[in-house]
């Protein structure tokens, strides 16, 4: 191990929890893992639609209320509306990715593909457009939007096929582009996004409640903005087309370079954000402080390559004076080259790079996970936890951490160690959550 813990400094902190920290390393590891998992759970709970949505509902309509929506929180948001408005004549339709549905009584809940759309995504989009057709000025369309809606609700623009959309999505996911750039492209390829859902609902009033998974919380970027006018409709996406390469279908490239005119919305109220990454990070920070660990908030919108950010966070951990926990959010990217890639997602890749850079530092534990409960699409894990002995345990199993990182097999690496964090679908989504616990180290 690179360092030994300074037990005297741990013991003098004015916290009952820290005063009772076990000296036994196994017990300490159990405590540290539980502490980090508690922070993650607090972050997720802060974005629970049942908690945050009721207070944000608009005045009840005099006419009909049609509920529509898309995303990983769409079904749980619809259930929250039903619970809050038992006396309102609700109807409508929402779509969530597979596994993210929740039983509703008055609103139909459909499922569609994610992160790549499928036939059910297209059918769901058609049913949602039908649900808002033929309404009047006294009617209300309540749109419930969250991350994951871009794929789950997919209606190809004129001249495109579902196969075109699927090919474009796969290329976007492997491109290393940030989520805003990806969604800018997705809006141009859609007949329902970029405000087109709200336009189809006119003259009914459209009120949108959104849970943001977008760094910077730009409303039009959440699920590619089905009820928000596309402010970037005139942007030049030639660099994006070039980056996606020659495998991009010709019809897709043409539409990205020659977009349809943007819609003009007169019936849509400003989008209200009911849950954000910043709110969830604050909830985790409050819990950490209550347990005697000082939180250092590093931002809710950190981006860039996951491995690069992992290395940077390791350097921050080395420089920190424990006991502290470094908390951050945002959404990193993983750029996959031409060669085969292993399993995992951006959070496990971040964490493996962190572990490699820490190289066995005795005083540091880390957790990184997506608040939706799914990091990538092939392991069913939200993320993982790394510990001071991650590399030692990996070596004992014949695992090469750096080779796994290079091969983008971080998920397989942590799975072999039993260190994946599995929550199942959380039915919300405020993007990634990262927490690095730094305890005091001995002074040599």
Question: Distance between CA 401 and CA 57 in Å, rounded?
Answer: 48
pLDDT in tens, 135-193: 999 999 999 999 999 999 999 999 999 999 999 989 988 888 887 788 888 889 999 99
Residue 19: which pLDDT band, with cuts at 50, 70 and 90? low
Residue 260: which pLDDT band, with cuts at 50, 70 and 90? confident
Tell me the C-alpha to C-alpha distance, in Å, between residue 418 and each of 41, 383, 385: 19, 12, 9
Question: Distance between CA 292 and CA 39 in Å, rounded?
Answer: 13
Average pLDDT over residues 275-298: 97
Question: Distance between CA 331 and CA 383 in Å, rounded?
Answer: 13
Q: Residues 6 or more apart from 294 whose CB is under 8 A from it?
A: 288, 323, 324, 325
Question: Distance between CA 260 and CA 293 in Å, rounded?
Answer: 52
CATH 2.30.29.30 fits 7-47+277-438, yes or no: no
Question: Distance between CA 250 and CA 163 in Å, rounded?
Answer: 12
DSSP of 259-294, one letter per residue? PPPPP--SSBPPPEEEE-HHHHHHHHHHHHHHTT-E
pLDDT in tens, 390-428: 999 999 999 999 999 999 999 999 999 999 999 999 999
Take residue 261 and report the two structure tokens written for it.
């005119």
Task: Name residue 59's beta-bridge partners.
Answer: none
Question: Distance between CA 238 and CA 225 in Å, rounded?
Answer: 21
- Give the pTM: 0.89
Largest Cα–Cα separation, the chain? 75
The domain segmentation of the chain, as residue ranges, is 7-47+277-438, 49-275
More confident residue, 13 or 197: 197
Phi-psi region of 67 (alpha: psi -120 to 50; beta: other; left: phi over 0): beta
pLDDT attached to residue 273: 97
Q: Residues 6 or more apart from 439 whose CB is under 8 A from it?
A: 5, 10, 32, 322, 323, 363, 364
Take residue 379 and report the two structure tokens written for it.
């392991």
Question: Distance between CA 21 and CA 367 in Å, rounded?
Answer: 19
Does residue 9 carry a pLDDT above 60? Answer: no
| Least confident piece of the model among 8-22, 278-292, 363-377 | 8-22
Task: Name residue 305's beta-bridge partners.
Answer: 333
pLDDT attached to residue 13: 40
Percent of the chain with pLDDT over 70: 93
pLDDT attached to residue 21: 58
Does residue 8 carry a pLDDT above 70? Answer: no
Take residue 290 and report the two structure tokens written for it.
């209550």
Residue 233: which pLDDT band, with cuts at 50, 70 and 90? confident
Helices (H), 62-204: 74-84, 119-131, 149-152, 162-173, 179-188, 196-201
| Collapsed DSSP state (helix, strand, coil) of residue 163 | helix
CATH superfamily of the domain spanning 49-275: Glycerate kinase, MOFRL-like N-terminal domain (3.40.50.10180)
- Give the count of beta carbons closer than 10 Å to the beta carbon of residue 68: 32
pLDDT attached to residue 20: 55
pLDDT attached to residue 179: 78
pLDDT in tens, 321-380: 989 999 999 999 988 876 667 888 999 999 999 999 999 998 999 999 999 999 976 688
């Amino acid at each position: 191990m690179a360092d030994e813990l300074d037990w005297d400094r741990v013991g003098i902190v004015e916290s009952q929890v820290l005063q009772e920290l076990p000296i036994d390393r196994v017990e300490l590891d159990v405590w540290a893992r539980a502490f980090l998992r508690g922070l993650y759970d607090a972050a997720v709970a802060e974005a629970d639609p049942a908690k945050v949505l009721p207070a944000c509902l608009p005045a009840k309509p005099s006419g009909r209320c049609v509920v529509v929506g898309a995303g990983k929180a769409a079904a749980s948001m619809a259930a929250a509306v039903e619970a809050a408005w038992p006396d309102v004549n609700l109807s409508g339709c929402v779509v969530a990715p597979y596994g993210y549905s929740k039983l509703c009584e008055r609103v139909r809940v459909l499922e569609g593909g994610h992160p790549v759309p499928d036939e059910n995504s297209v059918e769901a989009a058609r049913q949602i457009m039908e649900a808002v057709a033929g309404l009047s000025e006294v009617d209300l369309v309540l749109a419930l939007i969250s991350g994951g809606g871009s794929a789950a609700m997919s209606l190809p623009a004129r001249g495109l096929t579902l196969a075109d959309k699927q090919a474009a999505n796969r290329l976007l996911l492997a491109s290393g582009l940030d989520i805003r750039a990806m969604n800018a492209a997705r809006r141009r390829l859609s007949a329902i996004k970029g405000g087109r859902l709200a336009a189809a609902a006119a003259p009914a009033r459209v009120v949108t409640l959104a849970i943001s998974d977008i760094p910077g919380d730009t409303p039009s970027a959440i699920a590619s903005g089905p009820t928000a006018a596309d402010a970037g409709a005139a942007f030049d996406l030639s660099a994006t087309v070039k980056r996606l390469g020659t495998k991009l279908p010709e019809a897709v490239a043409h539409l990205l370079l020659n977009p349809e005119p943007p819609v003009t919305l007169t019936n849509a109220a400003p989008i209200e954000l009911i849950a954000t990454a910043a709110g969830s990070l604050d909830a985790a920070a409050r819990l950490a402080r209550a347990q005697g660990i000082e939180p250092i908030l590093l931002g809710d919108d950190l981006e860039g390559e996951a491995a690069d950010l992992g290395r940077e966070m390791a350097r921050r951990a080395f420089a920190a004076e424990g006991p502290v926990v470094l908390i951050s959010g945002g959404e990193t990217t993983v750029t996959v080259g031409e060669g085969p890639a292993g399993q995992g997602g951006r959070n496990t890749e971040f964490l493996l790079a962190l572990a490699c850079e820490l190289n066995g530092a005795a005083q540091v534990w880390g957790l990184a996970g997506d608040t939706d409960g799914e990091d990538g699409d092939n392991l069913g894990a939200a993320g993982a936890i790394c510990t001071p002995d991650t590399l030692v345990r990996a070596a004992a199993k014949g695992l090469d951490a750096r080779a796994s990182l290079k091969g983008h097999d971080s998920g397989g690496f942590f799975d072999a160690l039993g260190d994946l964090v599995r929550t199942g679908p959380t039915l919300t989504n405020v993007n990634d959550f990262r927490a690095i616990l730094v305890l005091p180290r001995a002074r040599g």
